[in-house]
Structure 1
Amino acid sequence: MLLYGYKRCSTCRDAHKTLQESGANVQFHDIVDRPPSEQTIRTWMERSGRPVEDFVNTRGTVYRERDLKHAKFTEDEWIRELSKDGKLLKRPILETDKEVFVGYHEGAYRRIALGEDQ
C-alpha cells in the first residue's frame, strides 16, 4: 500500500498511524516534497472512478490564495496544476493493489488494512 499525503498534515499522519496499527504494509509518499506525475494522477482517476475535481483540495490555502474557485480549467489543466503543487491535492490518497481512495475515514482505513475492501 502507498499512502500519499503531507507530512505536516495531522489527518495524513492519523491515516498513516491507523494503517500501521492495523498491520498494513504501508509506505508514505510526501506529495509536497515530491508531487505525483500527471500520469499518476490520471491512473488514480481511472482506478478510483472519480473525476479530477475530487482530487482538488478546495479547503487549502493554495487553492484560496490563487482564487481557483473561479478557475475554468479543463481536466488536463487541472491535472497539470495538481502535478506541480502537491498542496493542491486533496489528501490523503491511499493506493492499494486494486483501488485508490481519496480522503480519510478511520473505519474504512482499518477495513482496507485488514483486506476487507480489497
Structure 2
Amino acid sequence: MKVYGIKNCNTVSKTITWLNENNIEFEFHDYKKSGISESKLKEWADQVGWEALINKRGTTWKKLDAETQISIVSPETAFAVIVQKTSLIKRPILETSKGILLGFEESVYRKELIG
C-alpha cells in the first residue's frame, strides 16, 4: 500500500498513526517534496473523479485567485494547477489493492484495510 500526502498535515499524521497502530505496512510519498505526475492524477481521477481530488476547504484553494478557481472546469485544467500546487490534493490518498481511499475515516479504514 502507498500513502500519498504531506508530512506536516494533521490528517496525514492521524492516518500514519492509525496505520502503524494497526500494523499495516505502507510506503509514504510526500508530494510536497517529490511532486505528483499528471498520469498519477488521471489514474486516481478515473477511480473517484477529478473533482474529489481537490481540497476546496484548504488554505491553498482559498489563496487561489478567483480567475484560477473559475478556470478549473475539467481534469486537464485541474491537473495543470494541481501539479504546480500539490497542496490542493485532498489528503491523504491511500492506494490499496482494492482502489484508492481519500481522506481519513477510521470506519472506512477498518472495513477496507482490516476487513
Alpha-carbon distance in 1 for matches of 2:70, 2:41: 22
* Percent of paired sites with the same residue: 29
Q: How much does 1:51 deviate? A: 1.4
Q: How much does 1:22 deviate? A: 1.1
One-letter amino acid matched to 1:58: K
Matching of residue 35 in structure 1 with residue 35 in structure 2: yes
Q: How much does 1:89 deviate? A: 0.5
**Contact 1:3–1:26 under 8 Å retained in 2:** yes
Alpha-carbon distance in 2 for matches of 1:72, 1:82: 10
Structure 1: segments with no counterpart, 5+ residues: none
Alpha-carbon distance in 1 for matches of 2:32, 2:76: 20
Q: How much does 1:69 deviate? A: 4.1
The structure richer in helix per residue is 2
The residue that corresponds to 2:110 in the other structure is 110
Alpha-carbon distance in 1 for matches of 2:69, 2:104: 23
Q: How much does 1:78 deviate? A: 0.5
Q: How much does 1:111 deviate? A: 3.0
Matching of residue 64 in structure 1 with residue 75 in structure 2: no
Matching of residue 51 in structure 1 with residue 49 in structure 2: yes
Q: How much does 1:30 deviate? A: 0.9
Q: How much does 1:18 deviate? A: 0.7
Q: Deviations over 1:38-83 (max 9, x none)?
A: 000111122x2x2111100101222111135433432211012212
Instruction: Report SS of the residue matched to 2:90.
Output: coil
Structure 2: segments with no counterpart, 5+ residues: none
Q: How much does 1:84 deviate? A: 2.1
Structure 1 moving runs of 4+ over 6 Å: none
Alpha-carbon distance in 1 for matches of 2:113, 2:101: 12
Instruction: Report SS of the residue matched to 2:33.
Output: coil
One-letter amino acid matched to 1:76: E
The residue that corresponds to 2:3 in the other structure is 3
TM-score, structure 1 normalization = 0.85
Alpha-carbon distance in 2 for matches of 1:54, 1:84: 18
